[in-house]
């Protein structure tokens, strides 16, 4: 019997000076949102019928039973006091996003999720369900057959589940009944909300707009907002102005940051991460313990007993490399190439980055998820 213990102790990380990084240029359309042009979240409570015995247990889920009784009474069927044992009905929550400038009669997608103890919504049909906004008004009505990605199957002894069978989606399953008024064309000014706030990026966006229009109409208000005053030639036609400026090319600036997810071992590093001069070592100490028990037999016709004599051997080997110096100014590309060349895995890389950051040699923020 062999037991292997591996202790991380130190190895060499040798990395050379980096080259010039490539810069990414993006459209203003991809960097910012138009303030006021947004989706609105809707929610509703409804019933899914037509399930093949995989619905809610009515005796355990009282709100499903009450909803079923209320629905049947609206249809002219009185079942008060009657015993209901159907397993083909499930109470669900219906959610969706009302698109910006959605008009009456247009359709939107909705997501349907089981609320009780239903096992699966496969094959179910959502009945008419009003969808309410945060103000309590009904903005859409959903109904239709569910599309389920998951499934559940099994027998008496075992079962298998893939995906989430209690969650489904209805494409174009809701009909918009109420519009949200927003007079975009009559606005005296428009604010661009940057998706990733940054002083430099906001200034570059404003400069690109001003250069294109030939007048100072855009001004950065804060790292996340650029205010745009509507020029006289675009008064009453803000859509035309936004169409022109959203295609302008801007080079966004991002802070040097390293994102670490210790649970999955994922590491994401920005292009501006730099490492100062630092010496790094990393290696492996391997301890091998081998058990070879021996059996001791007594002599024939003697009164002795058969016994097991332990026999243990311990070997220690150290797979270490020399201490190396990481030179000043090393970039992301050289950092990754050097570590990959040494065969260092994500788990060891996380420890190395955190140790270098603790020494003050990394000019970047490390965020651990």
**pLDDT tens-digit series, residues 79-127:** 777 777 888 999 999 999 999 999 999 999 999 999 999 999 999 999 9
Beta bridge partners of 169: 111, 147
CATH 3.30.1360 placement within the chain: 26-36+182-250
Tens digits of per-residue pLDDT, 28-73? 999 999 988 889 999 999 999 999 888 999 888 889 989 998 898 8
pTM surpassing 0.75? no
Q: Which residues contact 51 (CB under 8 A, 6 or more apart)?
A: 87, 88, 89, 90, 118, 120, 121, 122, 123, 124
What pLDDT shows up at residue 308?
Answer: 72
Contact 142/110 with Cβ under 8 angstroms? yes
Tens digits of per-residue pLDDT, 20-30? 344 578 999 99
What percent of the chain stands above pLDDT 70?
76
The pLDDT of residue 153 is above 50: yes
In sequence order, which ranges of the chain are alpha helices (DSSP H)? 28-31, 62-74, 199-213, 238-245, 332-341, 346-358
Specify the CATH number of the domain 26-36+182-250.
Answer: 3.30.1360
Nearest to 121 by CA among 147, 83, 140, 142: 147
What pLDDT shows up at residue 267?
Answer: 79
């Amino acid at each position: 019997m062999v037991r292997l213990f591996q202790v991380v102790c130190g190895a060499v990380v040798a990395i050379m000076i980096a080259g010039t990084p490539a810069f990414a240029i993006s459209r203003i359309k991809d960097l910012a949102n138009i303030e006021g042009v947004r989706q609105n979240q809707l929610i509703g409570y409804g019933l899914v019928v037509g399930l093949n015995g995989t619905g809610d247990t009515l005796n355990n889920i009282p709100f499903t039973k009450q909803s079923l009784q209320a629905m049947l009474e609206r249809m002219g069927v009185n079942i008060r006091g009657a015993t209901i044992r159907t397993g083909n009905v499930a109470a669900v929550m219906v959610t969706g996003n009302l698109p910006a400038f959605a008009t009456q009669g247009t359709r939107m997608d909705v997501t349907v999720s089981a609320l009780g103890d239903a096992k699966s919504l496969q094959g179910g049909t959502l009945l008419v369900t009003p969808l309410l906004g945060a103000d309590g008004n009904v903005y859409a009505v959903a109904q239709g057959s569910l599309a389920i990605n998951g499934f559940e199957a099994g027998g008496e002894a075992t079962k298998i589940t893939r995906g989430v069978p209690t969650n489904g989606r209805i494409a174009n399953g809701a009909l918009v009944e109420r519009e949200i008024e927003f007079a975009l064309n009559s606005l005296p000014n428009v604010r661009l909300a940057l998706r990733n706030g940054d002083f430099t990026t906001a200034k570059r966006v404003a400069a690109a707009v001003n250069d294109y229009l030939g007048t100072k109409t855009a001004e950065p208000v804060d790292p996340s907002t650029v205010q745009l005053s509507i020029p006289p030639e675009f008064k009453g036609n803000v859509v035309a102005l936004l169409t022109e400026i959203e295609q302008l090319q801007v080079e966004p600036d991002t802070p040097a940051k390293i994102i670490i997810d210790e649970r999955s071992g994922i590491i994401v590093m920005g292009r501006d991460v730099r490492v100062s001069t630092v010496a790094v070592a990393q290696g492996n100490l391997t301890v091998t313990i081998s058990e070879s028990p021996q059996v001791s037999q007594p002599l024939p016709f003697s009164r002795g007993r058969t016994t097991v004599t332990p026999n243990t051997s311990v070997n220690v080997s150290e797979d270490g490399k020399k201490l190396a110096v990481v030179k000043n100014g090393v970039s992301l590309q050289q950092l990754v190439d050097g570590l990959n060349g040494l065969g260092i895995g994500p788990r060891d890389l996380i420890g190395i980055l955190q140790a270098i950051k603790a020494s003050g040699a990394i000019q970047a923020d490390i965020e651990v998820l």
